[in-house]
Structure 1
Amino acid sequence: MSPPDFKPLSLMSSGTAAPPAEPWTPMPYADVPRYDARSLLPHWPRLHAGHALPPPPPHGPLADGWALYHSGEFERAAALGLQHGGAEGLVLANQATAIYANYLEPREAVRLSMFRQVVERAGAQAEAEPDNCHALYWQAYALGRYSQGISVARALAQGLGSKLKGALERVIALQPRHADAHVALAAFHAEVIDKVGPLVGRMTYGVRAETAFELFERGLDLHPHSPGALMEYARAQLMLHGDARMGEATRLYEKAAAVEPADAKERLDVELARAGLSD
């Protein structure tokens, strides 16, 4: 399946054309947990501890799609989500596309294209459904990864940071136990401070180091076994305090590397943690 077409956003022109579409890169690890629609549902609370998505009907295409996603079949999961349509299908398609783009897509132009697709789809959904936490979260996630791809400073200048921050704050207001939103907002605070400094960050973007740490602690309290959240916290420790927090950052990476992955995304995160420790 080739990446679906997207409508260009006025704030998000990459300035380069994406290369011809090719099949998505498969999962590189054979030891990924595998699910089908039947085995998926008993594990659903653990798999979705970060954002409390309601489970799909046990018999139907969405259960099959989520089983594909958690097994690392991101391309097939995204295609099934788009074919299903509706709010529930879009959540699956956006999550599968965003996670694949972040972890496995090797071509930078295609990665940015995929993130723009997710921003466009999720943003349109959030505009139609302002209280849809999942649309808001995936819009923010894709904005964040896109911003990192074009440089955080450039993204801030384009106003993408304020949009991201507002979406995540809205998610937390609507769903206070959304662990992933807490971690994503914490990472935003830390990264902006790292790029523009604490004074400009506070005065211009309303970000603070103490708020970042509070959000990380809350996110990990809600979802303590998330290897991705543990690594984000470790990176923030180093961004905000440098080598003085190297010991704490290493401890967090060790904890992430020791997680028994529950699905494909966690398997990818655990591998990143192991690689980080070996550097």
Structure 2
Amino acid sequence: MAAKSNWAAFPHDAKAYAYADDALKKAWPKLHAGDCEPFPDAKRAAALLKAAGKAAPKLDADALAEALQDAWRAFHHGDFKAAFDAGEKLGPIGASVAVKAIGIHTTYLVDDEAEQLKRYEQAGKLAEAAIKALPDEANCHYRHAFALGRYSQGLSIGKALKMGIAGKVRASLDATLKLEPKHAEAHTALALYHAEIINKIGAMIGGLTYGAKAAEAEKHIKEALKLTPASPIAHVEHGNVLLLLDENKNEDAAAAAYEKAAKCKPLDAMEALDATYAREQLE
């Protein structure tokens, strides 16, 4: 279990990302502009308990709301292990924060490739269980796509395609956007889906086999930037999409995108890691 392994600490000053008490609710719309996660107040918690049925934790709405808020508070502060543990403990209802916590931590703070794959696989299983329990929650589908997408990036393109991961990622992203059309991170991920397939197997085969199109990549990343212009990750992935589509032609434009990301003011630990990554691409 990833929770039992050694989790590297968030490497930056997290003082500004504490969001104690009501500060979390106040900052929530900006903190979750990218993933449209609803604020987990008691009303939201009650709805989740009802929807999850037997898969729900044995808590009342107030206790669940408090537990979810604490888990997200830990996530935003960079206490990724605490956020993961708290989310995992809540079962499918806590999968959104659990998967995001282990996913972001693994992306930026785990170097060992085997450990990365193990964690992304675990995240994918948590998200799968969440989809079964809460099929109408956009982020159950998005977290699934995120985990599978990251997992596939650690495999050879041949193995990833043979396992049918591309189709599963696409299906989960389509489900996300059907439930939440303004999900910026899903738009970003869909842009990467198109761009990565074109980069790996070419526009013709990618288009015929997986429906991958450069124009779709450009459309979705443009939408993500429109929805979250202050988000470092939207600009980071814009740069990545540009390089995947045509590294030689788009090198300067990608650098400009990374510069924008680096200049964004991080609102939480994740965004601080995103902005740091952008700065590293410019070095």
Per the alignment, residue 138 of structure 2 pairs with 133
- Gap runs ≥5 in structure 2: 43-64
Runs of 4+ residues deviating >4 angstroms = none
Residues in 2 aligned to 1:215 and 1:255: alpha-carbon distance in whole angstroms: 18
Q: Which amino acid aligns with 1:221?
A: K
Is 1:181 aligned with 2:186?
yes
Per the alignment, residue 2 of structure 2 pairs with 3
Residues in 2 aligned to 1:86 and 1:191: alpha-carbon distance in whole angstroms: 30
Per the alignment, residue 68 of structure 2 pairs with 62
Offset, 1:62:
1.5
Is 1:22 aligned with 2:5?
yes
Residues in 2 aligned to 1:118 and 1:23: alpha-carbon distance in whole angstroms: 17
Per the alignment, residue 166 of structure 2 pairs with 161
Residues in 1 aligned to 2:41 and 2:125: alpha-carbon distance in whole angstroms: 27
Residues 14 and 269, structure 2, Cα contact 8 Å, conserved in 1? no
Residues 233 and 252, structure 1, Cα contact 8 Å, conserved in 2? yes
Residues 191 and 239, structure 1, Cα contact 8 Å, conserved in 2? yes
Residues in 2 aligned to 1:48 and 1:201: alpha-carbon distance in whole angstroms: 32
Residues in 2 aligned to 1:238 and 1:3: alpha-carbon distance in whole angstroms: 32
Residues 255 and 282, structure 2, Cα contact 8 Å, conserved in 1? yes
Per the alignment, residue 152 of structure 1 pairs with 157
- Gap runs ≥5 in structure 1: 5-20
Residues in 1 aligned to 2:134 and 2:25: alpha-carbon distance in whole angstroms: 27
How many residues are paired up? 260
1:209-233 per-residue CA deviation (whole Å, 9 max, x = no partner) reads 0010001001111111121121111
Cα 1:159/1:86, change in 2 over 3 Å: closer
Offset, 1:83:
2.2
Q: Indicate the structure with greater helix content.
A: 2
Q: Which amino acid aligns with 2:225?
A: L
Secondary structure of the corresponding residue to residue 270 of structure 2: helix
Residues in 1 aligned to 2:148 and 2:135: alpha-carbon distance in whole angstroms: 17
Per the alignment, residue 38 of structure 1 pairs with 22
Is 1:51 aligned with 2:35?
yes
Q: TM-score, length-normalised on structure 1? A: 0.89
Give the share of equivalent positions with the same residue, in percent: 37
Q: Which amino acid aligns with 1:133?
A: A
Residues 37 and 64, structure 1, Cα contact 8 Å, conserved in 2? no
Is 1:117 aligned with 2:122?
yes
Cα 1:180/1:31, change in 2 over 3 Å: same
Cα 1:226/1:70, change in 2 over 3 Å: same
Provide the alpha-carbon RMSD of the alignment. 1.6
